[in-house]
Amino acid sequence: IDELLIGQDDAQEYGLSNKIVREIRPYLNEHIHFVHGADELTMLVLARNIIAETLPAIEIKYANENNKGYYPFEAEKLEDVLLAKMNYINIPLKENGERDRIPKNTHFIYNDPEKIDVLQEFLTTNNDRLFSSPDIDYLGIEDIAFTNKGDTRLYEIFLDKELNRKIHGYAGWNTASNTIGTELAHYAFYQYLQKNLGKYSKEDQEKALQSYVEFKFIRVAEDLLYQGILRDKLNEELKARNIDPTNLGERKNEAEKILQGLYEEYRGELEEAFKGEYIIGKFRFKVENISSRMELPWGRTFEAKVVPEVKISG
C-alpha cells in the first residue's frame, strides 16, 4: 500500500467513532493518514499525489473569529479540521508576520450567517485588486454557515459578473469538513493549473479551463441554488403529489421533471453570470457560452447532479 487515507464523517464531539480514531492514531505515519470528512477525500488524495509539492501559503479569514468550535457532524474544533486538511495536501498557513498588507491567496471561512456583512466588506475593500492584480492570487469561500446548504444570500454575489470573477473557488457542501476539504483541494488544483497551463497543448488547455469553470458552476448551482432554494420547493411539490422525497421509487422520473421545471426559472441567469472574461495567473480566456441541466442522481432529493457544458475562447 502506497497510501491509506482514513476519514471520519458524520461524527460529534463525544461520538462513538472517536474511540476508533484514538485507536488508529498511534499507527499514523508517512503512508497512513487521517482527516475529518469523507465526500471530498478523493479530491484531497489527487491534490496530494498529483501535485506532490508544497503549495503557496494561504491566509485564513473568518466571518466570526469567535466561532471556531464544534460544528454539526464534526468531532474536532473548526481550526483542527482545517489544519489537518491543509497539512495533508501541503498547504502552509501564513503566520501573522507573513500576512500581506493586501491579502493574497485568501480563504474566507464564512462561519456565521449573522456576519455576512464581514464577507461583503472584504469583497468591497479588495474590489480592484481581486481581478486586476498581476500576482498569482486566489480567493476561496468556504461557506459553512449552514449544514448541507450554502447561505442563499451569497447566490446574489455570484449572479454579479464582476464579483463572480473575483471569487476563484466556492463550496458550501454538506458538513464543514466536506466544504473545507473541497475548497482546499480546488485551491491546490488551481495553483497547479496556473503554474503549468503554458505547458499544455492547445486542446488540453481548453479542457482544463473548461473544467475550472464547470467545477465552480457546479458548486454554486448545487450548494447554493439546489441545496439552498430548489430542494425545499421540490420537496413541497413532491409531498403534494404523495411522493416521498427520501424514497422516490418508480416516480423518480416524475420528480426529475419537476426539478427541471424549477431549475429552468434560474438556469438562464446563472449561465449568463458565468459568461465573459477570466484570468488565471497570466492567462486570459473567455467563456463564450454555457449550458446546463440538473438531475437527481439517486432515488431521493438529498442532492442534485449538475451537468454544465462550457465553450471558451482565447
Q: How many CB atoms lie within 10 A of CB 243?
A: 20
Same domain, 10 and 92: yes
Identity of residue 100: D
Query: If you write DSSP's letter for every residue of 106-140 in order, what string do you get?
Result: EEEEE--GGGHHHHHHHHHHTHHHHHH-SS---EE
Same domain, 180 and 227: no
Same domain, 44 and 186: yes
Same domain, 65 and 100: yes
Q: pLDDT tens digits for the chain (314 residues)? A: 899 999 999 999 998 999 999 999 999 999 999 999 999 999 999 999 988 888 999 999 999 999 999 999 999 999 999 999 999 999 999 876 555 555 689 999 999 999 999 999 988 887 666 555 545 489 999 999 999 999 999 999 999 998 898 899 999 989 999 999 999 999 999 999 999 999 999 999 999 999 999 999 999 999 999 999 999 999 999 999 999 999 999 999 999 999 999 999 999 999 999 999 998 888 899 999 999 999 999 999 999 999 999 999 97
What SS3 class is residue 284? strand
110, 151 contact by CB (below 8 A) = yes
Same domain, 118 and 215: no
Same domain, 170 and 307: no
101-130 pLDDT tens trace: 556 899 999 999 999 999 999 888 876 665
Q: Which domain-ending residue is among 168, 199, 230?
A: 199
Quote the CA–CA distance of 265 and 258 in Å, as a whole number.
12
Residue 301 belongs to what domain range? 204-313
Q: How many CB atoms lie within 10 A of CB 168?
A: 23
Predicted local distance difference test score (pLDDT) of residue 127: 67
Same domain, 64 and 182: yes
Same domain, 126 and 213: no
The number of folded domains in the chain is: 2
In sign, the C-alpha dihedral spanning 17, 20, 26, 31 is negative
Find, among 255, 254, 269, 270, the residue nearest to 306 by Cα.
270
Q: Which domain-ending residue is among 143, 164, 199?
A: 199
Same domain, 130 and 209: no
Predicted local distance difference test score (pLDDT) of residue 137: 80
Same domain, 62 and 157: yes
Same domain, 182 and 225: no
pTM of the predicted model, to two decimals? 0.93
Predicted local distance difference test score (pLDDT) of residue 167: 93
Quote the CA–CA distance of 11 and 36 in Å, as a whole number.
9
Q: Which domain-ending residue is among 133, 164, 199?
A: 199
Residue-wise burial string across 174-188, b where 16 or more C-beta atoms lie within 10 A, e elsewhere: bbbbbbbbbbbbbbb
Same domain, 137 and 258: no
Question: Burial of 247 by CB count in 10 Å (0-12 exposed, 13-18 middle, 19+ buried)?
Answer: exposed
Quote the CA–CA distance of 273 and 236 in Å, as a whole number.
28
